[in-house]
Amino acid sequence: MGMEIERRFLVIGEVWRKLGKANEYHQGYLSVEPDRVVRVRIVGNHAWLTLKAKITDVSRHEFEYEIPKADAQTILATMCPMQVTKMRSRIEYAGHLWEVDEFSGVNQGLVLAEIELPSEQTPFEKPEWIGREVTADGRYSNAYLANHPYLTWSETN
């Protein structure tokens, strides 16, 4: 069974930009429920269908299957009204891989970093460009952003 243990943080400053190569991600959601999500994602010439189900704020069941890119393009164009585009940089720091997502379009201005861990208790060192943790704040999930764009948030969101 697939499992994802991940923590999410706001990114501060610009130092991170010099540390990793960015790739464009385009993803859309076939289903967004409070405790489960079905997503299709395209990165370069590859595409995946992913199913996620919440266990805790940090842990989820995750099942991911590579699919033909042409299928993913059709699914995005015809079945996914909720979509997100972003540039993802992968940065190694203190023995862990950080993924920094700089969102574009209706989510422009938002930059998040994620770290996947082997357990919820795994200690890790934070780089200087890591800000406030937002793991438990569902507004910062890609699925939420696809339906509630960052540029539309107000102080009460």
pLDDT, mean of residues 118-134: 95
Q: Are 61 and 1 in contact (CB under 8 A)?
A: yes
Query: Backbone phi, then psi, for 152, in 5-degree steps?
Result: -100, -5
Give the residue numbers annotated as catalytic, written as ranges. 29
Please state the φ and ψ torsions of residue 103, each to the nearest 5 degrees. -80, 155
Q: What is the per-residue pLDDT for 156?
A: 58
Instruction: Give CA–CA dist 35/39, Å, rounded.
Output: 13
Residue 78: count of CB within 10 angstroms of its CB:
8
Q: How confident is the model at residue 157 (pLDDT cuts 50, 70, 90)?
A: low
**What pLDDT is attached to residue 23?**
96
CB count in 10 Å sphere of residue 75:
17
Residue burial 51-65, b: 16+ Cβ < 10 Å; e: rest? bbebeeebebebeee
DSSP-derived letter for residue 103 is E
d(CA 130, CA 13): 9
Q: Using an 8 Å Cβ cutoff, are 151 and 107 in contact?
A: yes
Q: What span, in angstroms and rounded, lies between the C-alpha atoms of 20 and 44?
A: 17
E strand segments, 12-95:
22-33, 36-43, 46-54, 59-67, 82-93
Q: What is the pLDDT of residues 22-67, one digit of tens each?
A: 999 999 999 999 899 999 999 999 999 999 999 998 899 999 999 9
Domains and their CATH numbers in the chain: 3-152 (2.40.320.10)
